[in-house]
Homo-oligomer: A and B are copies of this chain.
Amino acid sequence: MSDGSDNVIQPARRRPVTLRDVAETARVSVATASKALNDQGRMTAETRTRIRAVALQLGFRPNSLAQSLLRRRSFTVGLLTNDSYGRFSLPVMAGVSEALLDNGVSVFLCNVEDDPRLGQLHVDAMLDKRVDGIIASGKRLDRHLPVDLSNLGIPVIYAFTEPDPNSIAFVSDDEGGARLAVEHFVALGRKRIVHVAGPETFAVVHQRADAYRAVLAENGLTPPRVMMGPWSEGWGHQAVAELFDAPGEKPDAVFCGNDQIARGVVDALRERGLRVPEDVGVIGFDNWEIVAAATRPPLTTVDMNLTALGREAGLTLLSLVDGKPVEPGLRKLPCRLVVRQSCGRPPGD
């Protein structure tokens, strides 16, 4: 039965109402209509309000494509990332969106994995669509995205990824974050603090380890002990075994490279009958809520403030797009310590 009442969704694309429609309905020229709506030019107050009323009634919305073409500004930016899982990109993206939304700027999100072909494809698409700028983000601070973003002719900002030389970049202050954690332990009176870190192939692992060693030295504490391994719960378990099976003094605090390791450490300690935080304090890194909050007890952990980082990146990109010059360089944004229950209360609390 094809009697026309077939129950299919016809992509009935209505013709959107244009400025011309408004002008004709209000019996003025498009020029006048445009000026009325943009508060430009001179005309009777009556004319202006009349045109406005017509536009409202017709539901007129200016065609961004036409505006962009003329203004050479698309009110659109691209966000490149290789973090398919979104653990780091999503908070950054949230911050970027937040900063840009108020300015009517939309974001193309493009995951380029680690594939140069995919990267080129996405960058070309962005360029063709005349994005006003690009934000490059990623899942680690010491790896480039698989794309060359120099000499694109549009502003580029790096946020939580390895930047090009002489570019503008926002990254987390990993040394600072590690200091926060270790100093927190020190303030709580912990004496034998070890660091169960991530893999040695990561630059941040060394930065944090250096900060850890520095804080210990500054406070005249036991020789530092840094153990490197994968970013996994399993590594947390293994590290606890190594630490507590060995003869001699046992640690009373463990600073972990991420929340998953910390989760493993906490679980392993509990399984050995050690109490967290009474016997051993534990601090994680990343503040990955879903892990940190589910750990028993909930993890005290370092938050890299990625949303704030994204917001800064977005605002700075806007400045560049607006033509304001910005000094190049690496901006390290401070981390913050999120205190939960895995290392006890500070003294006097």
Contacts and interface: CB of A to CB of B under 8 A. Distances in A.
Interface of A: 6-14, 16, 61-66, 68-69, 74-76, 84-86, 90, 93-94, 97, 101, 104, 106-111, 118, 121-122, 124-130, 153-155, 166-168, 232-234, 260, 267, 290, 294, 320-321, 323-328
A106 B125 contact: yes
Contact of A107 (B104, B109, B323): B109
B325 A10 contact: yes
Nearest to A168: B9
| Pairs of residues from A and B, 4 with the lowest C-beta to C-beta distance, nearest first | A14-B153, A109-B109, A8-B325, A86-B86
A260 B188 CA distance: 32
Contacts of A104: 125
B97 A9 contact: no
Given A107-B108, A234-B294, A64 B128 contact: yes
B65 A294 contact: no
Contact of A327 (B9, B94, B107): B9
A84 B94 contact: yes
Contacts of A7: 327-328
Contacts of A323: 11
17 contacts: A8-B325, A9-B155, A9-B328, A10-B325, A11-B154, A11-B155, A11-B320, A12-B153, A65-B129, A65-B130, A101-B121, A101-B125, A106-B125, A107-B110, A108-B109, A233-B294, A267-B267
Nearest to A118: B101
B325 A127 contact: no
Contact of A11 (B62, B126, B128, B321): B321
